[in-house]
Amino acid sequence: MRVLVTGGVRSGKSRHAESLLADRQAVTYVAPGPVRDDADWAARVARHRARRPAHWTTLETGDLTAALGTPGPVLVDCLGTWLTRLIDDAGLWDARTEDVSAYVEEQVDSAIGELHDGVVLVTNEVGWGVVPEHRSGRLFRDLLGEANVRFAEACDEVHLVVSGRVLRL
């Protein structure tokens, strides 16, 4: 089973995604977000780590394709932080929208090619709020929305988490 878990920030997505693999012995937890030297970010990462079973392996990488190629159950948390890292690492925040879109589409295609049973992906819903004031926010919103559609199409189930409640779409 391939599952995409989506919802708003702090909605309970990660807890739900973790519960889907809680009975598995060897899970690779992929943290694809940007590396930050930020106390708040470090505290958030520490809370997530403390909540996961000790026998799960954590893989911090921006190479989502390689991470998804890992045998056995894989949990990716989350596609939004992966997208941020992807654009950061490629230095594309100020590039033409068409160029950024093409690059992200290639990366999404590559990652989708590695999806296998036992993969759970976490992502954020970003299109339900106000239109971001800045170009980077609009670019991120649009790219993540498009990536979410592509990953959802490749998954067997999509779970929407709202206030800790799960709706299977």
If DSSP codes are grouped into helix, strand and coil, which group holds residue 147? helix
Q: What are phi and psi of 111, to 5 degrees?
A: -65, -45
**Strand 165-168 to strand 157-162: parallel, antiparallel, or no bridges (unpaired)?**
antiparallel
On whether 69 is known to bind a ligand per the annotation, the reply is no
On whether 10 is known to bind a ligand per the annotation, the reply is yes
Catalytic residue among 16, 48, 134, 159: 48
Amino acid at 12: G
On whether 42 is known to bind a ligand per the annotation, the reply is no
Amino acid at 53: P
Q: What is the DSSP letter of 156?
A: S
Q: Is 48 a catalytic residue?
A: yes
On whether 9 is known to bind a ligand per the annotation, the reply is yes
Q: Round to whole Å and give the CA distance between 104 and 86.
A: 8
On whether 51 is known to bind a ligand per the annotation, the reply is yes
On whether 8 is known to bind a ligand per the annotation, the reply is yes
On whether 80 is known to bind a ligand per the annotation, the reply is no
**Residue set of the binding site:** 7-14, 31-33, 49-52, 60, 77
The annotation places the binding site for GTP at 7-14, 31-33, 49-52, 60, 77
Which residues are part of the catalytic machinery?
Answer: 48
